[in-house]
Amino acid sequence: MSAHESTAHLTDVRFPGVGDHRANAEAASHNYRGQHSVEVHDLYKAFGSFEVLRGLNLNFMDDAVTTILGPSGTGKSVLLKHVVGLLEPDAGEVGVFGRDIWSMSERERSEMRKRFGVLFQDGALFGSMNIYDNVAFPLRKNTDMSEDEIREIVTRRLNDVGLGAADTKAPNEISGGMKKRAGFARALVMEPEIVLFDEPDSGLDPVRTRLLCELILQMHEQHKGTYVVVTHDIETARKISDYIGLLWKGELVHFGPAAEAFESDEPFVRQFLSSGESAGPLGMD
Ligand SMILES: Nc1ncnc2c1ncn2[C@@H]1O[C@H](COP(=O)(O)OP(=O)(O)O)[C@@H](O)[C@H]1O
Ligand SMILES: [Mg+2]
């Protein structure tokens, strides 16, 4: 079965719920302009002839943790890059605080990015700087704070993530889990209103994944804000989500409160959210 056929099959024949959600998303898009801090409308993106995002509609909930779950290669990172304005849509819009990112000037867009904290897969630390300087970097770059003020914030954030004693270490001297925590501390120093996580659990063992999930929840409790986590790990989604979106082949096939998603009777959602269960409508293609 080709990808195209299987998608038609998925949306048109066996899973009426999928179409309903899309209709809801379309209805919601008429309420655009500032209802939510991040709104995605009819987002399309292709690389060459390969269509990655195929008409995404999605509002991220303020002061909530929304998880976008999907198999690898399905467009999760591409979606995040659109949200933070690193990629420009082929069609559609990404609204941040009520404004289309791509109708802003370059300067406004870069101001807007300061309101984001972003934690990419590997923590994306600067290898040449120690942990302290990595975490201090956004403050030195974007503010005119004194080194004393910076020290107070950086120390607090490093303590939050359990790295108070590791501040002088270089990134290559610490474990994968510590790198992620350092990246998280750096993502929080500017007190962002929106925090994006790209597979925060990748490469971590189950125990460290659980600890990182707890840390994400604890930091969200403390700082509030719109948290968006993309992952392919169902257990992570189960632990941290207020809302869950299921992304499959560049389309949002389900969106709603996490508790509802995990109790859904819909075969597609059930298969998606039951780890390891291969029987069901979702094929490997
Ligand atoms: N800059 C790019 N140029 C070409 N193809 C890309 C680019 N970025 C992503 N892709 C492709 O888009 C698809 C989705 O990628 P991605 O969003 O990274 O998936 P994931 O859901 O695993 O995060 C993949 O097939 C990937 O190869
Ligand atoms: Mg990715």
Reference 120, options 158, 89, 76, 152; nearest CA is: 76
Ligand 2 center from residue 208 Cα (angstroms): 20
Domains of the chain and any CATH numbers: 3-115+192-273 (3.40.50.300)
Cβ distance 40 to 92 under 8 Å? yes
pLDDT of the residue at 240: 95
Q: Which two tokens stand for residue 105?
A: 């000037």
DSSP lists the bridge partners of residue 196 as 118, 228
Ligand 2 center from residue 71 Cα (angstroms): 9
CB-based pocket (< 6 A), ligand 1: 47, 52, 70, 72-78
Which residue has a Cα nearest atom 5 of ligand 1? 47
Any idea which ligand is nearest the CA of 51? 1
Cβ distance 85 to 118 under 8 Å? no
pLDDT of the residue at 13: 28
Any idea which ligand is nearest the CA of 199? 2
Instruction: Extract long-range pairs of 7-11: CB within 8 Å, 24+ residues apart.
Output: 7/249, 7/251, 10/248, 10/253, 10/268, 10/281, 11/251, 11/253
Any idea which ligand is nearest the CA of 68? 1
| Cα dist from 234 to 24, 195, 202, 246, 273, whole Å | 24, 20, 12, 11, 6
Reference 238, options 266, 272, 278; nearest CA is: 272
Query: CA geometry: angle at 270 spanning 269 and 273, to 5°?
Result: 80
Ligand 1 center from residue 77 Cα (angstroms): 7
CA–CA dist 100, 40 (Å, integer): 9
Ligand 1 center from residue 275 Cα (angstroms): 23
Reference 117, options 139, 98, 99; nearest CA is: 139
Write the burial class of residue 6 (CB in 10 Å: 0-12 exposed, 13-18 middle, 19+ buried).
Answer: middle
Other CB atoms within 10 Å distance of the CB of residue 225: 22
Cβ distance 44 to 91 under 8 Å? yes
pLDDT of the residue at 34: 58
Beta carbons within 8 Å of 151's beta carbon, 6+ residues apart: 136
The one-letter amino acid code at 82 reads: H
Q: Which of 45, 49, 77 to mutate to test the pocket of ligand 1 (most atoms within 8 A of CB)?
A: 77
Any idea which ligand is nearest the CA of 81? 1
Cβ distance 124 to 183 under 8 Å? yes
pLDDT of the residue at 195: 94
Q: Closest ligand 1 atom, CA of 70?
A: 21
Beta carbons within 8 Å of 53's beta carbon, 6+ residues apart: 43, 44, 45, 75, 78, 79, 82, 89, 250
Walk along the chain (285 residues) and give the pLDDT tens digit of each residue.
Answer: 333 333 322 232 233 334 444 444 444 444 455 578 899 999 999 999 999 999 999 999 899 999 999 888 899 999 999 999 999 999 999 999 889 999 999 999 989 988 999 988 766 889 999 999 999 999 999 999 999 999 999 999 999 888 999 999 999 999 888 898 899 899 989 989 999 999 988 888 888 888 889 989 998 999 899 999 999 889 999 999 999 999 988 889 899 999 999 998 888 888 888 865 555 555 544
| Residues 74/78/84/86 CA torsion (nearest 10 deg) | 180
pLDDT of the residue at 108: 92
Q: Closest ligand 1 atom, CA of 230?
A: 23
Residue whose tokens read 């125990």 = 207
Reference 56, options 74, 37, 72, 73; nearest CA is: 74
pLDDT of the residue at 276: 53
Reference 251, options 57, 6, 27; nearest CA is: 57
Ligand 2 center from residue 232 Cα (angstroms): 9
Which residue has a Cα nearest atom 8 of ligand 1? 78
Q: Closest ligand 1 atom, CA of 48?
A: 4
Ligand 2 center from residue 205 Cα (angstroms): 18
pLDDT of the residue at 206: 86
Q: Which of 72, 78, 198 to mutate to test the pocket of ligand 1 (most atoms within 8 A of CB)?
A: 78
pLDDT of the residue at 268: 80
